[in-house]
Structure 1
């Protein structure tokens, strides 16, 4: 029992150290040696508990996505709003994009994961996200089609965000987010009128509350 407790504490120390370092320096610039030094753990234990630095990165990414979803759900409940999964997803997408725009530490971490193919190599929540969304819209896609849509959208998201940050896309942040949601839902083959309605309604809901990613990826 004592060994289990020590092991669990060591695993948590590694994870918390990686969160602080990934936030401060980005995923790419943070080495396993830096994580080991910060956590006080043997570098080999990173692979033991997480498989690789990529395993750590994807665990943090999955936690971020799940926590954002939970925070949005919590705020919708407080406001007494009942929404479809599709509408809630659009609100979550707005929250994610707003944090991408205003928290450069978060956007750097996200770009690093995409740039090093971590989101494609590791088991992320991306495909489950699209599968659940498709099923809620009564779209019967195969596993191949879900994976194709998920990773095509991830690549497109990386490209348009980098282009926007570089000033190659000239529009307001709100127009950018609206277009991002349109791209996401259009890739799924949804009806254009439905997409238009979801964009409009999600915009009104987004103005009612704020979900922020703060230092060391804490979400409030």
Structure 2
């Protein structure tokens, strides 16, 4: 019973935070306001989430996993980690950037370098699988450098897009964001172009509108 109560409280905090993040953005949704709207004492939130960024991390992780499961259950391929990652990445950013509320919240987190890490997802294991599948001799240092490089490039692309400095259509941006990994791995341009085509075919074939970032 105690565990169930704790689970319900945690889920209530997440639900309220998502609604507030969607309506008010990241900055105005203070921990105090989240506690008030969740009808719980302020001191109870750190028991479940040390900081507001930890709430964002939880929301983002669940969102990413939902997309990954959706793609994995429908993409009829076996050993092709990059194709899956390409499609998951494109859908992830498509859902966020096509909704003005999502985009506003995302941008506010994006502006803060430390906070942006709460919007990132662990890809180290996937990167190692990609290196193996493409028969690339990448050691741990190579993987670490690749992750850091992609992290910075992705953030700058998104910042410039959200601030209106990058005048491109969404499909172009999704292609660039999803192809960053392949470019850094040295995967042939023809392969990357084919993966973008497969993402577009996947998008036409399946309805993932039920997957939400915030609400």
- Same fold? TM cut 0.5: yes
How far 1:145 moved relative to its partner?
3.9
Are the aligned partners of 1:58 and 1:119 in contact in 2 as well (CA < 8 Å)? Answer: no
Aligned counterpart, 1:106: 102
Aligned counterpart, 1:131: 125
Instruction: Give deviations 1:101-155, integer Å, cap 9, x for gaps.
Output: 31122223333333232243x6x7623x243133234145444543443343233
Aligned counterpart, 1:190: 187
How far 1:19 moved relative to its partner?
1.5
How far 1:66 moved relative to its partner?
0.7
Aligned counterpart, 1:38: 37
Counterpart of 1:26 in 2: which secondary structure? helix
How has the CA–CA distance of structure 1 residues 25 and 147 changed in structure 2, closer, same or farther, with 3 Å as cutoff? Answer: farther
The TM-score with structure 2 as length reference comes to 0.81
Task: Point out where structure 1 has 5 or more consecutive residues left out of the alignment.
Answer: none
How far 1:30 moved relative to its partner?
0.9
Are the aligned partners of 2:71 and 2:88 in contact in 1 as well (CA < 8 Å)? Answer: yes
CA distance in 1, matches of 2:3, 2:32: 24
Counterpart of 2:205 in 1: which secondary structure? coil
Task: Point out where structure 2 has 5 or more consecutive residues left out of the alignment.
Answer: none
CA distance in 2, matches of 1:96, 1:64: 8
- Aligned counterpart in structure 2 of residue 82 of structure 1, from 77, 82, 100: 77
Are the aligned partners of 1:23 and 1:215 in contact in 2 as well (CA < 8 Å)? Answer: no
CA distance in 1, matches of 2:4, 2:166: 51
The TM-score with structure 1 as length reference comes to 0.80
After superposition, residues 11-90 of structure 1 pair within 5 angstroms as 11-76=10-75, 81-82=76-77, 84-90=80-86
CA distance in 2, matches of 1:8, 1:173: 38
CA distance in 2, matches of 1:3, 1:182: 46
Instruction: Give deviations 1:49-72, integer Å, cap 9, x for gaps.
Output: 111111111111111111111122
How far 1:36 moved relative to its partner?
0.4
Superposed CA RMSD: 2.7
Are the aligned partners of 1:20 and 1:216 in contact in 2 as well (CA < 8 Å)? Answer: no
CA distance in 2, matches of 1:110, 1:142: 33
